[in-house]
Every structure is written in structure tokens, then in C-alpha cells.
Amino acid sequence: MLHHTPKEIHERKALRVNPAKTCQPIGALYAALGIHGCLPHSHGSQGCCAYHRSHLTRHYKEPVMASTSSFTEGAAVFGGGANLRQALKTIFHVYDPDVVAVHTTCLSETIGDDIPTIVKQAKKDGIVPEGKIVIHANTPSYVGSHVTGYANMCRMMVHYLAESTGERKNQINVLPGYVEPSDMREIKRLLAVMGVPAVLFPDTSDVLDRPQSGRFEMYPKGGVTVEALRSTGDSQKTLALGRFASEEAAKMLQTKAEVPYALLDLPIGLAATDRFVEALVELTGEEPPAAVSDERGRLLDMILDGQQYLYQKKVAVAGDPDHVIALTEFLVHMGMVPTHVITGTPGKSFELRVKGLLKEVNPQAKVKAASDLFELHQWLKNEPVDLLVANTYGKYIARAEDIPFVRFGFPILDRPGHIYFPVVGYTGGMRLVEKILTALLDRIDRDAPEEKFELVM
């Protein structure tokens, strides 16, 4: 499909070809699913909501529920207030969620619908039943990316729901970033093993990776409860994992309830997980349990066992900024050489951070935010690499250039089961090492002449 991508690179300022991101509402919808008993609501056209739901469904292989204001030409001219009022009336009468999380689309943002005022009037008119909650986030698709939308919805969870009683609870808050349900479960497991009481929000574990029971559940057992979200204003501290997805919510919680926060990378790989564990050690004042130290040791052992195949291998990486930053550091620590590193999400801090990580290893590496897969493909034509790490869309580039490929990040549309295996923590690091080594060794086997086709590598 991509064999005709030209090698010659021309500067593009107003055009994206094969974007390395998707739109804000998808991230906002995903974040909203991390609240227990919540129905995400797309304030825009039916087509937008259908695309966002189908995209998430294809990634998670699970039904993704969301409602829509179903804009038509009339709403485009006169505004979507009447549509939202009717939608809320239907939602609470038919589906009875505890929370409705409204996110906007391009059309409703362009019109300029005042969501808080519309919802306030709906409450006065009895359309929103007593005890039910409606929150909202502004998420126009023509700004940012799905990561931005996720961050905006997390920030508005704090805005609408966090409360402070003035008495600090023996707990911390953890903002996990735009990660998989399995990653959120792994973070909760590490917190429990370390003996740290915490509120993790949002939390999509047991929502989008629920076990098969033979029954449809509109609102699965997973998700952070409203009660827990309210208590976040009384927590001792917030750990924000990932600058792009988590810091804005942590900042708002600090401003609103004076809960201090620490900004950490996503705990992907050895060093980033070390920093996460160290942050927990500072809170508990106790050394990590033996189980955690053993997990770290097993990850180290895997890296050492595969070092002869990892060392000095050139890698191209594309994905969400928080994921790519942590993964780049992990690749460097494994002795690999990140050569081309991009994200589709805007943000100069991404470029500064990645270039800092590569300063001693590969100062000539190409690093760019708000880039696209077309540009990455052109870079690869001019300077080939030994491995490509990206989401499903990267497989077309890998096929065109005959590069070993590892699927990583969002979305992964062409493989089932990935959502059940974390990439965070020491355990997730082991999975990443295994996937990278498998891709590289499969290529060695594929290309080996008969006399070099070894039984033991």
C-alpha cells in the first residue's frame, strides 16, 4: 500500500498524511468509561459518536457504550441545546446511569454551545434526576489529539467531583495516564503490594477487559466510584503518571484542594518503574517487598539474556507522547539506539525530553512532535532501522520497508488479547523485552541460510 511513498522530503506545515494520532473525543470517551456507572455522551452528530465507539470497540474487542445528541442541520444552525436536553431525558429514563460525561465535538464547539448552562437549566427543569451527575469536557477534534481529550476529561472529573473536607485521608491519588485496563490493574497491584492506599482515576479495569459471563452488563463492576473521586480532595498527594495525559488534572487538584503532586513518567521499563517504586517508598518509609525486588531482577535477567541481540540495534518509535518518552528511555537502557522518534500529539516538551534522553546515545536522532506516519516513513527510506515499534498503522510501513515490527500503544486493531497484558511495571517490561526479542529473532530465522538456521539462539 505504501510502496509509492517518496524518499525526497518536503516541508509540510498545513497538511498531515497518515496521522499518528486520533481525535480528542475518543480519549475523553475512554476516560469517562473509567468512572463506575458512567455513560459517555457525545455532543455532536451521530456519525462522530459511531466512529469513536467503533474505533474503541475494534481495539478492545468489547462493546463500548456511549450516547449522542444526534445533531442534524437544525442543530447546526440553531445550536444543540434542545438536542442535549432531549438526550439527557432519554438517557436517565432508559439507561439510568449514575453519571453522564458529556464531551463536545468539532460541530458543537464551532457552534459554541454552553454546556454548563444547558445542563444547569436541565437540572432546574427536572430533566436530570436528583442524585444523578452530569459532567462535561470541551474536546474539539481540530485541537490536540486523543491524549489531549483524555487529559481534558480527567481534569473535569476533578473540577466537578473532587471535594475537600479539610481532613487528610491516609491515601494518595494516582493518575495512570492513557494506558490499557491491564496497565491500570498492574498499577493497582503494585500499590497494594507496596501497602499504599490509593484512588486511581480513571480506572477502566473490569470495564473494557471484563470476563466473559454470557450476560451483557451496561455498567460493569469496574471503574472508580463517585465517592472515591470526591475523596481525592482529601488525599495526601497525587502521583501523575505522564505529563501529557495526567498533569493537568493533578494541577487542578492542587489548585482546588491543595493536594500536592509529583509528576512521573509512565512506569514503562526499568528506570521509570524504579522511579515509581521509589515514590511509593518515600510515602511508606519502607523498603520494597521481596516480591517487587524479584520482579525487577527477572526483568534485568531477561535484558542480559538478550543483550547480544539488542545491543546497538537501531529503532524507530511512534505513538502517544507519554508512552514514547518512557519507551525511548527503556530502549536506551537495553543498549538499543532510537533513531527516529515521533508522536502525533503537539508539544515541544516531548521533543526536548526525548532529545535529552538521546543526547549521549544518538544526538543526531530525528525527533518530532505533531508529526505523522508519512514523515516517519520518509525518514526510514533515507535511514533504515532494525526495528519499528508503533501501533497497528505502523505495519504498512514495516511491510513496505521489510522491517521487523512490534505493536505497541493505541490502537492495536489487528490482534486480539493484547489488552490483557500490561506494559507498565517490571512485569510489563518483561513482556516488552520478549516481544522485541521475538521480532528480532524471527527476522534472523527468516533470513538465515540453511547452514545458519539454528535450534538454539
pLDDT in tens, 67-125: 999 998 888 788 899 999 999 999 999 999 999 999 999 989 999 999 999 999 999 99
Query: Are residues 342 and 431 both part of a single domain?
Result: yes
Query: Are residues 444 and 356 both part of a single domain?
Result: yes
From 161, 188, 219, the end of a domain falls on: 161
Query: Are residues 277 and 341 both part of a single domain?
Result: no
The answer to whether residue 336 sits within a structural domain is yes
Give dist(CA 302, CA 180) in Å, integer: 23
In this structure, what C-alpha cell is assigned to residue 407?
505493536
Query: Are residues 102 and 29 both part of a single domain?
Result: yes
The answer to whether residue 367 sits within a structural domain is yes
Query: Are residues 239 and 374 both part of a single domain?
Result: no
Give dist(CA 238, CA 192) in Å, integer: 16
Number of domains observed in the structure of the chain? 3
Query: Are residues 203 and 331 both part of a single domain?
Result: no
Question: Per-residue pLDDT for the chain (457 aa), expressed as one digit of tens each?
Answer: 677 888 999 888 888 899 999 999 999 999 999 999 999 999 999 999 999 999 999 999 999 999 999 998 888 788 899 999 999 999 999 999 999 999 999 989 999 999 999 999 999 999 999 999 999 999 999 999 999 999 999 999 999 999 999 899 999 999 999 999 999 999 999 999 999 999 999 999 999 999 998 888 899 999 999 999 999 999 999 999 999 999 999 999 999 999 999 999 999 999 999 999 999 999 989 899 999 999 999 999 999 999 999 999 999 999 999 999 999 999 999 999 999 999 999 999 999 999 999 999 999 999 999 999 999 999 999 999 999 999 999 999 999 999 999 999 999 999 999 999 999 999 999 999 999 999 999 999 999 999 999 898 7
From 130, 161, 192, the end of a domain falls on: 161
Query: Are residues 215 and 322 both part of a single domain?
Result: no
Structural domain for 185, as ranges: 172-291
334 Cβ contact partners less than 8 Å away, ≥ 6 residues apart: 303, 307, 310, 433, 436
pLDDT in tens, 406-418: 999 999 999 999 9
From 291, 316, 341, the end of a domain falls on: 291
The answer to whether residue 370 sits within a structural domain is yes
Query: Are residues 314 and 435 both part of a single domain?
Result: yes
Domain holding 86: CATH number? 3.40.50.1980
Query: Are residues 30 and 119 both part of a single domain?
Result: yes
Query: Are residues 192 and 275 both part of a single domain?
Result: yes
Query: Are residues 309 and 439 both part of a single domain?
Result: yes
Query: Are residues 445 and 304 both part of a single domain?
Result: yes
The answer to whether residue 5 sits within a structural domain is no
